Amino acid sequence: MSFKLTAPMHDAERLPPFETAELRLHLSQYLDTPFADPSGQTSKIGNYRWGVYAFFDYDGEPIYVGQTNEMLRTRIRRHLTNQRTDAVAMSVLDPFEVFEIEVWPLPQFQGTASKDATARAHLNALERRITQDAIQRSAFKAILNEKDPPAGVDMVEVPPSHRGRIVSDRVVHLRGHPDFRIARRALILSRLAQVIAERQVQGGLRRVLLTQAKRLEWLSGRRYEALGGDALVGEEGGDEGELPLFDGV
């Protein structure tokens, strides 16, 4: 007797998965947002070459800060769409956690060479300032960066920024459920722990592991308390198992 396997209907699908397509669409819309900078010029926010950016999760928590002098569009896309950065590859940053982005462009350096010392010093100082502000605003007094910004004492004024959401309502419906977020955060935490276990790593990764563990505990605790906390826990010898999906089922 022989069996003929029938290919599932989506095997020949050339389009990316729904969530991937939605991320690319809304990220592009964000990066194409017109931005009027202090110089009086208006440009797409992603087209500024020099700048600092920050990622925020579904709770508005700052989770990552970075800088670029190659173009905001290029650097942010590298993080969120093709996973070519060390932060993503090492499970430091999970693109699925990013709900909003804020960018601080530096239009005064738009035509400046990437090795220009003055521009680089200004960029480093701005990254330090944004990182400090993010840590202060964080409920955990920490973000998920493996490394600290370049050291220095220069102070710069924070320029105008643009913050926007890159997740559609349909994706929020899929990803926003706290149990999904807890499971996803635990997965990333496990991957990071595996990286640490298999390599000789610097202390920065262990700091990220600790911060991510605190974030997982906080989200799990909030979910537990929201459902009733200890009042929902059964006694030993009582019935165990899953709760019904719907009342009366």
Q: Are residues 66 and 122 in the same domain?
A: yes
Q: How far, in Å, are 32, 72, 74, 213 from residue 48 at the CA level?
A: 11, 6, 10, 35
Task: For residue range 53-67, list pLDDT tens digits in order.
Answer: 999 999 999 999 999
Length of the chain: 249
44 occurs within a structural domain: yes
Q: Are residues 47 and 156 in the same domain?
A: yes
When pLDDT is averaged across residues 130-156 and rounded to a whole number, the result is 94
224 occurs within a structural domain: yes
When pLDDT is averaged across residues 12-20 and rounded to a whole number, the result is 63
Q: What is the mean pLDDT of the chain?
A: 88
Please state which of the ranges 56-60, 77-81, 115-119, 155-159 shows the lowest mean pLDDT: 77-81
113 occurs within a structural domain: yes
How many whole angstroms separate alpha carbon 26 and alpha carbon 37? 22
- Please name the residue ranges forming H helices in 115-237: 117-137, 169-175, 178-198, 203-226
Percentage of the residues of the chain whose pLDDT score is greater than 90: 65
10 occurs within a structural domain: no
Q: Are residues 181 and 222 in the same domain?
A: yes
Check residue 165 and report its DSSP letter.
Answer: E
pLDDT of the residue at 161? 96
How many whole angstroms separate alpha carbon 48 and alpha carbon 25? 20
DSSP secondary structure letters along 98-122: --EEEEEE-GGGTTS-TT-HHHHHH
pLDDT of the residue at 56? 98
236 occurs within a structural domain: no
> Quick one: which of 176, 156, 204, 195 has its CA closest to 60?
176
96 occurs within a structural domain: yes
3-state helix, strand, coil in the chain (%, to 5): 45, 10, 45
Read off the tokens for 60.
């508005």
Q: Are residues 74 and 177 in the same domain?
A: no
Q: What is the pTM of this model?
A: 0.86
Facing residues of 162 across strands?
103
pLDDT of the residue at 186? 97
Report the domain count for the chain.
2
Q: Are residues 149 and 197 in the same domain?
A: no
148 occurs within a structural domain: yes
Q: Are residues 145 and 22 in the same domain?
A: yes
11 occurs within a structural domain: no
pLDDT of the residue at 177? 92
Q: Are residues 34 and 124 in the same domain?
A: yes
Q: Are residues 62 and 180 in the same domain?
A: no
Contact 219, 182 (CB under 8 A): yes
pLDDT of the residue at 201? 80
Contact 69, 123 (CB under 8 A): yes
Q: Are residues 136 and 205 in the same domain?
A: no
> Quick one: which of 69, 65, 76, 67 has its CA closest to 49?
69
**Where does a domain end: 167, 194, 212?**
167
Contact 19, 174 (CB under 8 A): yes
Domain of residue 199, residue span: 172-228
pLDDT of the residue at 13? 59
Q: Are residues 123 and 213 in the same domain?
A: no
Sign of CA dihedral 142, 145, 47, 21: negative
Q: Are residues 96 and 132 in the same domain?
A: yes
Task: For residue range 73-92, list pLDDT tens digits in order.
Answer: 999 999 888 656 677 888 88
Q: Are residues 69 and 145 in the same domain?
A: yes
